[in-house]
């Protein structure tokens, strides 16, 4: 028997039928009918945020940490435009979120009505797809399609713009949720081309100085175990992009660390000297390649990606494979396994051993220092790397870590070693300050018993700190580690390096709040740390049983003079890096 | 290099704006654009001419294919194809120029479709080069107004672009 439901009820019912647990949202005139439908049900929990941008980041954090789509509900006009930054963030990092925005009634569209914004138009360049609901009867089909599109192929955000008349509580329709989607123009590839897979396996086995370069596609494509199996079988060095961390166990010798602009010396050197790059779910981003013309001169490139548009976009692929990372990696592994079983010399073990010797040499010379407790910052101050390492020890490497954008983000990526996917959550593509806290909230909703740390900077934190109120309302026990250098540190670093130390609008030392008092005013627990010898004890407390149910804010006052290294040299190849603080260089990359 | 793309698109509100938006957003240029529903009214067909090297065209094609409402994309310039453009052109035609213009129009196989005391409106179809040549032959001074449809293209012989 079909039910008779209003448009607003159908929308919420369709979300239930999709298995949605949480909707992150904020009400307003255009969505009041929908909010009334939410009020009358129990299956979906609505989370009331304090700013719509934060709602999108929460949905995004939820999605990144689970692989399931995050859902946002905002009103028309300012509600919708506030959501755009979060939609763009999700788009750049290919995460599945569905954003439902209210719209003025169909009959008023185009009349500059109160709180009318052309949301489909405003969001068009930053969505995978979008819908404007023309009549209520379309709602079940549109919701079904929206979730399918958001989650399949290369995932991404989908907007559903819902005019108020289509949610009228007094007009009823037969509700039936479609079982399947039929879109003749959209069929993401479900497996790789078998000829290309054989070629790839052959190229891998023939390599003498190989590198596996794995990105966010391994995380989004749930391919970490397939990648790890193949990489382990081959014994090849693996490097991850900023988005790919956790796609291969970060605490193993086989892992070279992150590559790129602030990547490790050994990862970038290996990329430069390699004869074969196996790129998996990575897109040769400009933060990785440095000057594309000088990139990896001797390398054959095997590039696996679910999105054909990512292949040969920046760097030409010799062996392109379009397909989902998990299935294709498993197939390559089968071919490799068979070849290695048939021929013990299928892999040039001697060449590989030589290659590893060189890599270990680079690591010994300039690799990251994984225990910096012996260092002292200027005036004896605490160093940001020490704080990240202490968080790593206190959480035994098992936390979900979200971050913002700046120096603190790079320190977190360099020094927290992720050994599982979906644990490291940051805005890599858009670089959105203000992402960290709301993303951590989305993660905590998805994993109520998980340890969630947000490693942030005071600048980024202040971009969405109103959400401390939401954390209070929903009792979210997030641990916020504020690497407080009293500055927009990353900006200031660049100004030190190339602008003669002229800190144009990158400091605000005398205008910072008392973060301890601030967070306590929201009912949260707060610590202030500025000494190395109190650091580990404090972190043990913060992440211990004592504060299991508390949101704890750690205001860590760190050395404001510390810079992030290594750093790529502008216009160079990947082996061109600065390794320690040098002011007054004008050849450092200036495209912050 | 000039390329002619044929695109089958869902005939839905907003679909064309995504195609055009893509070109603006990714800094690809559109030289001519022509769009209308096909015999299957759920589909529109776009013919779009642009320029770029092979890599660029490959990227354009891939990004077009990524749009949910794009059903098919073909680069017509890759194979044998026909292209035509329609032009309506109003020209000053007084005194002895009237005969002259009429003759020129005949040579180019155009048709005079509207006449006033001092002007002709001529309809002409052909390749873009032919239309350009006609305008040159008339001389700039004579031309009052030009409307061109943009190029429409179709593959030759049994090459068919359909679902
Ligand atoms: C919304 C937004 N505005 C501006 C920037 C440019 N930006 C990149 S890093 C940075 C400084 C971040 O300061 P903070 O959060 O304190 O981190 P720190 O570098 O000091 O660790 C700025 C302004 C950005 N990424 N996002
Ligand atoms: Mg800072």
* Tens-digit pLDDT profile for residues B86-102: 999 999 999 999 999 99
**Could you report the per-residue pLDDT of B70-82, keeping only the tens digit for each?**
999 999 999 999 9
Confidence of residue A334 (pLDDT cuts 50, 70, 90): very high
Q: Does A110 touch chain B (CB under 8 A)?
A: no
Count of beta carbons in the 10 Å neighbourhood of residue A540: 13
Report the distance separating Cα B48 and Cα A580, nearest Å: 52
Spatial contact of A126 and A157, defined as CB atoms under 8 Å apart:
yes
Q: Does A128 touch chain B (CB under 8 A)?
A: yes
> For A320-347, what is the mean pLDDT?
97
pLDDT value for A379: 87
pLDDT, mean over chain A: 96
When mean pLDDT is compared across A40-44, A86-90, B151-155, B158-162, the lowest value belongs to B158-162
**Could you report the per-residue pLDDT of A549-584, keeping only the tens digit for each?**
999 999 999 999 999 999 998 889 999 999 988 777
> Where is pLDDT greater, at A13 or A182?
A13
Listing DSSP states for A472-523 in one string gives HHHT---EEEEEE-SB-HHHHHHHHHHSTT--TT-B-GGG---HHHHHHHTT
**Could you report the per-residue pLDDT of A457-516, keeping only the tens digit for each?**
999 999 999 999 999 999 999 999 999 999 999 999 999 988 999 999 999 999 999 999
**Could you report the per-residue pLDDT of A79-118, keeping only the tens digit for each?**
999 999 999 999 999 999 999 999 999 999 999 999 999 9
pLDDT value for A2: 80
Q: Which class for A549: exposed (0-12), middle (13-18), buried (19 or more C-beta within 10 A)?
A: exposed
Listing DSSP states for A290-356 in one string gives SSGGGS-TT-EEEEEES-GGGTTSSS--SEEEES-HHHHHHHHHHHHHHHHHH-TTSS-HHHHHHHH
- Cβ(A102) – ligand 1 distance below 6 Å: no
Listing DSSP states for B108-131 in one string gives TT-EEEEE-SSEEEEEEEE-HHHH
> CA torsion A542→A548→A549→A551, rounded to 10°?
20
Query: Count of residues for chain A?
Result: 592
- Do residue B65 and residue A308 have CB atoms under 8 angstroms apart? yes
Can you tell me which atom of ligand 1 is nearest the CA of A483?
21
Query: Looking at the partner chain, which of A134, A184, A307 has a beta carbon nearest the beta carbon of B71?
Result: A184
Size of interface A-B (CB pairs under 8 A): 34
Which of residues 68 through 127 in chain B touch A, CB cutoff 8 A?
68-71
Spatial contact of B45 and B35, defined as CB atoms under 8 Å apart:
yes
- Do residue B68 and residue A184 have CB atoms under 8 angstroms apart? no
Active site residues of A: 52, 114-115, 164, 490
pLDDT at A375 over 90: yes
Ligand nearest the Cα of residue A53 is 1
Place of tokens 């779910």: A281
Report the distance separating Cα A584 and Cα A562, nearest Å: 16
- Do residue A124 and residue B68 have CB atoms under 8 angstroms apart? no
- Cβ(A88) – ligand 1 distance below 6 Å: no
pLDDT at A176 over 60: yes
Query: Looking at the partner chain, which of B14, B17, B163 has a beta carbon nearest the beta carbon of A184?
Result: B163
Short-list A192, A276, A288, CA closest to A234: A276
> For A339-360, what is the mean pLDDT?
97
Listing DSSP states for A67-101 in one string gives SSPEEEEE-STHHHHHHHHHHHHHHHTT--EEEEE
- Do residue B65 and residue A120 have CB atoms under 8 angstroms apart? no
Q: A159 CA to middle of ligand 1, Å?
A: 28
Report the distance separating Cα A213 and Cα A61, nearest Å: 24
Q: A178 CA to middle of ligand 2, Å?
A: 49
pLDDT at A591 over 60: no
- Three-state SS across A412-477? HHHHCCCCCCCCEECCCCCCCCCCHHHHHHHHHHHCCCCCEEEEEEHHHHCCCHHHHHHHHHHCCC
Q: Which residue's C-alpha comes closest to atom 2 of ligand 1?
A: A433
Query: Looking at the partner chain, which of B25, B62, B68 has a beta carbon nearest the beta carbon of A149?
Result: B68
Q: Does B162 touch chain A (CB under 8 A)?
A: no
Short-list A528, A527, A526, A524, CA closest to A550: A524
Ligand nearest the Cα of residue A460 is 1
Which tokens go with A458?
């005071």
pLDDT value for A590: 53
Which residues are B45's β-sheet partners? B8, B36
Which tokens go with A462?
């202040």
- Do residue A184 and residue B66 have CB atoms under 8 angstroms apart? no
Distances (CA, A) of A372 to A32, A243, A382, A539: 54, 25, 11, 16
Q: A404 CA to middle of ligand 1, Å?
A: 8
HSE-CB for A201 with a 13 A CA cutoff: 23
pLDDT value for B157: 84
pLDDT value for A588: 66
**Residue of chain A whose Cα is closest to the Cα of B10:** A185
Which residue out of A435, A464, A490 has the highest number of ligand 1 atoms within 8 Å of its CB and is therefore the one to mutate? A490
Helix (H) or strand (E) holding B153: strand B152-155
- Cβ(A405) – ligand 1 distance below 6 Å: yes
pLDDT value for B158: 83
- Cβ(A487) – ligand 1 distance below 6 Å: yes
Q: Judge if ipTM > 0.85.
A: yes
Confidence of residue A354 (pLDDT cuts 50, 70, 90): very high
Listing DSSP states for A115-176 in one string gives T---HHHHHGGG-SEEEE--SGGGHHHHHHHHHHHHHSSS---EEEEEEGGGG-TT-EEEE-
- Cβ(A52) – ligand 1 distance below 6 Å: no
Q: Does B136 touch chain A (CB under 8 A)?
A: no
Q: What percent of chain A has pLDDT over 90?
A: 95
In three-state secondary structure terms, A9 is: helix
**Residue of chain B whose Cα is closest to the Cα of A118:** B14
Q: Which residues of A touch B58 (CB under 8 A)?
A: 312
Q: Which residues of A touch B71 (CB under 8 A)?
A: 184-185
Query: Looking at the partner chain, which of A120, A124, A185 has a beta carbon nearest the beta carbon of B68?
Result: A185
What is the pTM for the complete model shown? 0.96
SS3 content of chain A, % helix, strand, coil (to 5): 40, 20, 40
Can you tell me which atom of ligand 1 is nearest the CA of A460?
15
Beta strands B43-51 and B119-126, pairing class: unpaired
- Cβ(A486) – ligand 1 distance below 6 Å: no
pLDDT value for B111: 97
pLDDT at A589 over 70: no
pLDDT value for B156: 93
Q: Which residues of A touch B163 (CB under 8 A)?
A: 184
Report the distance separating Cα A287 and Cα A260, nearest Å: 6
Spatial contact of A263 and A257, defined as CB atoms under 8 Å apart:
yes
Mutate to test the interface with B, among A126, A183, A185, A316 (most CBs of B within 10 A): A185
Report the distance separating Cα A432 and Cα A419, nearest Å: 25
């Amino acid at each position: 028997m079909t039910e008779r439901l209003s448009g607003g009820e159908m929308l919420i019912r369709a979300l239930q039928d999709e298995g949605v647990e949480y909707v992150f949202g904020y009400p307003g005139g255009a969505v009041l009918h929908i909010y009334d439908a939410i009020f009358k049900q129990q299956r979906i929990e609505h989370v009331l945020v304090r700013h719509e941008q934060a709602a999108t980041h929460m949905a995004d954090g939820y999605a990144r940490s689970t692989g399931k789509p995050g859902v946002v509900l905002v009103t028309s006009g300012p509600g919708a435009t506030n959501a755009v930054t979060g939609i763009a963030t999700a788009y750049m990092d290919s995460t599945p979120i569905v954003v439902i925005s209210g719209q003025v009634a169909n009959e008023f569209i185009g009349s500059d009505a109160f709180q009318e914004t052309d949301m489909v138009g405003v969001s068009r360049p930053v969505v995978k797809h979008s819908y404007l609901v023309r009549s209520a009867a379309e709602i079940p089909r549109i919701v079904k399609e929206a979730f399918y599109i958001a989650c399949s192929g290369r995932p991404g955000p989908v907007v559903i713009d819902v005019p108020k008349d289509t949610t009228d509580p007094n007009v009823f329709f037969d509700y039936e949720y479609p079982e399947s989607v039929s879109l003749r123009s959209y069929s993401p590839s479900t497996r790789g081309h078998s000829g290309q897979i054989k070629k790839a396996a052959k190229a891998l086995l023939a390599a003498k100085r190989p590198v596996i370069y794995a990105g966010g596609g391994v995380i989004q494509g749930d391919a970490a175990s397939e990648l790890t199996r193949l990489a382990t079988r081959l014994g090849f060095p693996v490097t991850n992009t900023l988005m790919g961390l956790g796609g291969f166990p970060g605490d193993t010798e086989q892992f070279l660390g992150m590559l790129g602009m602030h990547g490790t010396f050994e990862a970038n050197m290996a990329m430069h000297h390699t004869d074969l790059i196996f790129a998996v779910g990575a897109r040769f981003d400009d933060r990785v390649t440095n000057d594309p013309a000088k990139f990896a001169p001797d390398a054959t490139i095997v590039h696996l990606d679910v999105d054909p548009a990512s292949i040969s976009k920046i760097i030409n692929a010799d062996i392109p494979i379009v397909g989902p990372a998990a299935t294709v990696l498993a197939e390559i592994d089968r071919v490799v396994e068979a070849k290695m079983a048939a021929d013990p010399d299928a892999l040039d073990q001697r060449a590989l051993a030589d290659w590893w010797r060189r890599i270990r040499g680079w690591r010994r010379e300039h690799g990251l220092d994984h225990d910096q407790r012996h260092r002292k910052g200027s005036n004896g101050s605490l160093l940001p790397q020490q704080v990240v390492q202490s968080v790593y020890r206190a959480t035994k490497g098992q936390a979900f870590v979200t971050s913002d954008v700046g120096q603190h983000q790079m320190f977190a990526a360099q020094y927290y070693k992720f050994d599982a996917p979906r644990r490291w959550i940051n805005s890599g593509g858009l670089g959105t300050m203000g992402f960290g806290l709301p993303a951590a909230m989305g993660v905590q909703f998805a994993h109520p018993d998980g340890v969630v740390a947000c490693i942030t900077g005071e600048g980024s934190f202040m971009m969405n700190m109103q959400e401390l109120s939401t954390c209070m309302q929903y009792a979210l026990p997030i641990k916020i580690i504020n690497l407080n250098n009293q500055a927009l540190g990353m900006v200031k670093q660049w100004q030190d390096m190339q602008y003669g130390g002229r800190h144009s609008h990158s400091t605000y030392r005398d205008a910072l709040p008392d973060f301890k008092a601030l967070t306590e005013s929201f009912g949260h627990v707060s610590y202030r740390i500025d000494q190395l010898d109190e650091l580990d004890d404090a972190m043990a407390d913060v992440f211990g049983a004592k504060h299991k149910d508390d949101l704890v804010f750690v205001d860590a006052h760190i050395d404001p003079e510390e810079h992030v290294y290594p750093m790529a040299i502008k216009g160079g190849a990947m082996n061109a890096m600065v390794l320690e603080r040098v002011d007054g260089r004008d050849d450092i990359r200036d495209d912050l | 290099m000039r390329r002619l793309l044929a695109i089958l698109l869902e005939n839905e509100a907003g679909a064309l704006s995504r195609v055009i938006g893509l070109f603006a957003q990714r800094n690809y240029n559109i030289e001519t654009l022509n769009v209308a529903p096909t015999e299957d009214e759920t589909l529109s067909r776009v013919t779009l001419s642009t320029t770029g090297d092979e890599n660029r065209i490959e990227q354009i094609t891939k990004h077009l294919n990524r749009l949910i409402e794009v059903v098919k994309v073909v680069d017509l310039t890759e194979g044998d194809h026909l292209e035509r453009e329609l032009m309506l052109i109003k020209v000053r035609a007084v005194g002895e120029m009237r005969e002259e213009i009429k003759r020129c129009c005949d040579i180019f196989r155009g048709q005079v479709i509207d006449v006033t005391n001092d002007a002709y409106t001529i309809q002409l179809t052909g390749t873009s080069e032919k239309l350009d040549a006609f305008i040159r032959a008339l001389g700039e001074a004579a031309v009052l107004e030009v409307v061109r449809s943009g190029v429409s293209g179709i593959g030759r012989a049994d090459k068919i672009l359909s679902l």
